[in-house]
Amino acid sequence: MKVRYVSLPATPVNLPGLLQKALDRAGIAAEAFANGVPVETEAGTEALLLVSPFLTERGSLNGNALWKRYLAQHCPQTKLIVVGFKKKSGINYLDVFDLPENLSHFFETAQPAGADWQPVDAGGAEMQQELRTFFLGHGNESIAEAVSDIFKHCSLIDPADAADYATVKTNFLDCYAVPQKWAGLQRRWAKYEWLFPYTPFYHLMQEIAAKISYISPYFDNKCTDREQFAKLEVNKHLFELTFLINKVGKYVL
């Protein structure tokens, strides 16, 4: 059986010693899976171990439901195994301090991520709720709506026409505070980006971060430079940002 365990870029972890020894006795090799690449590209992974909760500088996080939801869509046959330190009982749960005598049987009878079951709550703040707040905002527009609104106004720009650019900037970019809206988007990202390395879609969040960083100079310059707009291909990246944000949102909302 091909078994992997999630090792996070933010806080790389090894398996708890008690579990590692039990796996060794059972002849089960568990290899680290470095989060940051799509888990679905790890061909042949039959079981994925998730040590829970995640321990961060801002407290502990429970990402079990989020990881199951992602795996159910992309790797429905992979068995998500929650590894915890609390005395709990439930499907696909390994209590480090009370491990089953027959680990091979445990893995054989564990449920795949695509089956209808709920992961054990091993403690920590619910990460999915934190991410919903990031996506939906605090009663204001969602992050997808914010990017779409910026894209709507920028799509009016013809970078080859200087006179037209000046008109669009005055009547739309300035009138609808597009540079300020972009700055608000950056603040929102900065507030929540500490969460992203703990998600199963971290590779997508890295793509989004790269695009935000790439086109930010244009908005930081208050949308004054028509040539910079063309050189950075701002509309192309705004379109791709909208697609990526909506793609990630389906795992959270």
Mean pLDDT of 207-234: 97
Final residue of a domain: which of 123, 156, 185?
123
Q: What is the pLDDT of residue 36?
A: 82
Query: What share of residues in the chain are helix, strand, coil (percent, to 5)?
Result: 50, 15, 35
Rounded to whole angstroms, the Cα distance separating 21 from 27 reads 10
pLDDT interval class at 140 (50, 70, 90): confident
pLDDT for res 41: 83
- My answer on whether 146 and 84 are in the same domain is no
Q: Are 81 and 160 part of one and the same domain?
A: no
Number of helices and strands (H, E) in the chain? 10, 8
**Element containing residue 145 per DSSP (H, E):** helix 143-154
83 with 49, same domain: the answer is yes
What's the rounded Cα separation, in Å, for the pair 123 and 102? 26
What mean pLDDT is predicted for residues 118-142?
90
Q: Rounded mean pLDDT of the chain?
A: 93
Residues 24 and 90 in one domain: yes
Same domain, 239 and 194: yes
pLDDT over 90 (residue 139): no
Indicate which CATH number applies to the domain containing 66: 3.40.50
> Is residue 13 over pLDDT 80?
no
Q: What is the pLDDT of residue 253?
A: 87
Tell me the per-residue pLDDT of 15-51, one tens digit each, with 9 for 90 and over.
899 999 999 999 999 998 888 878 888 778 999 999 9
Out of 75, 101, 123, pick the residue that ends a domain: 123
Structural domain that includes position 155: 128-252
